């Protein structure tokens, strides 16, 4: 093994050797890896630059969204060009995992991430996280009028007053959490209430903009949309505030962005090294210092200091590998939302 390799990489390579991966790794004869990336392009680019700088391993990115790339991987099967899959949310990763397409993640990588931020069975690992929030227009709602639970938003009191982006993977991950926590019948009822009460927009940025402009009193989105906007001009969020449901409410759901290595990859060691790097010190530090405003999930890793700390969000416990995107699409279609 190259003595100049950083120690985290040696650990990763040893771990993958134990998993039965092929020949010993040498940066000079590496063809590099292909990453199917559904995470935000700017965040993944920062990860790739740091990884290539530290290891010499080249990375080719193919960008898309969660459901598009998840379905593509299932269709391509073992013929896929992908070595690694990165998602924004867990359901697309669970889809690929359930199709039997993922190699186990090296245990040294799993150990870098808190148990709450990875699925129980170790087929993939959390790389970042995002929190559900209720964003509201400060001149439309007072703090006393805020809902106690996400489930309240299906009641007649909220008719015509909130917005969401039901077609997006972000919102569908929240619905998957409701399904996992409340069961099918209660989820379908909630979705029917949403259909009656909420206005649909395309994308969470459009939801934030509508709430800021007072076209909707409130919306259900992820936290980082507001922080990213505040970090720029604030023009789409200055009239808004964020309400965190907490109390293990379904609306306090924290969605895990995932990373997995394809079992069909011919570059197992490099692919495992990439996940090891992202979840390690340097990879997680990009979440603390960069402009993504997503949460770090590495043990001992700090998130951006502007964020409400992850530990204070009192999120419900949800096994990310159980989030079922197919059932969510079925129920949302039945409720008339898709
Ligand atoms: Fe998003």
pLDDT tens readout for residues 188-222 = 999 999 999 999 999 999 999 999 999 999 999 99
40 CA to centre of ligand 1 in angstroms: 8
CB 283 within 8 A of CB 55: no
Delimiting residues of CATH 3.40.190.10 domain(s) in the chain:
7-128+254-308, 130-253+323-334
H or E stretch including 176?
helix 169-182
Which tokens hold the place of 233? Answer: 């001009």
94 CA to centre of ligand 1 in angstroms: 18
Largest pairwise CA distance in the chain = 66
200 CA to centre of ligand 1 in angstroms: 16
Which CATH code is given to the segment(s) 7-128+254-308? Answer: 3.40.190.10
Which tokens hold the place of 11? Answer: 């650990």
CB 181 within 8 A of CB 149: no
204 CA to centre of ligand 1 in angstroms: 7
Between 73 and 120, name the one with better pLDDT: 73
Round to whole Å and give the CA distance between 144 and 187: 26
Round to whole Å and give the CA distance between 78 and 76: 6
- First-last CA distance in the chain: 52
Half-sphere exposure at residue 126, Cβ-oriented, CA atoms within 13 angstroms: 25
271 CA to centre of ligand 1 in angstroms: 25
Q: Are strands 102-103 and 254-262 parallel, antiparallel or unpaired?
A: antiparallel
Q: DSSP for 134-186, please give it.
A: EEEETTT--GGGS-SSGGGGGSGGGTT-EEE-TTSHHHHHHHHHHHHHH-HHH
Is the pLDDT at 296 greater than 80? The verdict is yes
Identify the CATH homologous superfamily for domain 130-253+323-334.
Periplasmic binding protein-like II (3.40.190.10)
Round to whole Å and give the CA distance between 175 and 58: 37
Q: pTM of the full predicted structure?
A: 0.90
pLDDT tens readout for residues 110-137 = 999 999 999 988 999 999 999 999 999 9
pLDDT tens readout for residues 37-63 = 999 999 999 999 999 999 999 999 999
Which tokens hold the place of 218? Answer: 């409130």
144 CA to centre of ligand 1 in angstroms: 28
Is the pLDDT at 28 greater than 70? The verdict is no
- Residues flanking ion ligand 1, Cβ below 5 Å: 170
């Amino acid at each position: 093994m190259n003595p100049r390799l950083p120690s985290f990489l040696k650990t990763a390579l040893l771990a993958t050797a134990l998993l039965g991966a092929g020949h010993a790794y040498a940066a000079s004869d590496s063809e590099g890896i292909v990453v199917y990336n559904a995470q935000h392009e700017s965040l993944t680019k920062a990860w790739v630059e740091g990884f290539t700088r530290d290891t010499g391993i080249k990375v080719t990115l193919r960008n898309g969204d969660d459901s598009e790339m998840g379905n593509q991987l299932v269709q391509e099967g073992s013929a896929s060009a992908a070595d690694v899959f990165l998602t924004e949310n867990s359901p697309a990763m669970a889809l690929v995992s359930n199709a039997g397409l993922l190699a186990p993640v090296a245990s040294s990588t799993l150990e870098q991430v808190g148990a709450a931020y990875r699925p129980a069975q170790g087929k993939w690992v959390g790389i970042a996280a995002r929190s559900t929030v209720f964003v509201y227009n400060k001149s439309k709602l007072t703090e006393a009028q805020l809902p106690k639970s996400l489930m309240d938003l299906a009641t007649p009191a909220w008719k015509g007053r909130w917005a969401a982006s039901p077609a997006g993977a972000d919102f569908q991950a929240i619905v998957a959490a409701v399904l996992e926590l409340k069961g099918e019948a209660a989820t379908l009822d909630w979705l029917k209430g949403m259909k009656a009460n909420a206005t649909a927009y395309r994308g969470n940025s459009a939801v934030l903009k509508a709430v800021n402009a007072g076209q909707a009193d409130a919306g259900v989105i992820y936290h980082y949309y507001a922080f990213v906007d505040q970090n720029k001009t604030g023009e789409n969020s200055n009239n808004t505030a964020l309400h965190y449901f907490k109390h293990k409410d379904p609306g306090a759901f924290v969605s895990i962005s995932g990373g997995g290595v394809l079992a069909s990859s011919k570059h197992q060691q490099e692919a495992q090294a990439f996940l090891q790097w992202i979840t390690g010190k340097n990879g997680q530090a990009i979440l603390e210092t960069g402009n993504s405003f997503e949460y770090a999930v590495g043990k001992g890793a700090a998130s951006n200091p502007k964020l409400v700390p992850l530990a204070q969000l009192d999120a419900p416990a949800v096994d990310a590998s159980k989030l079922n995107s197919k059932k969510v699409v079925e129920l949302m279609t039945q409720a008339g939302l898709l």
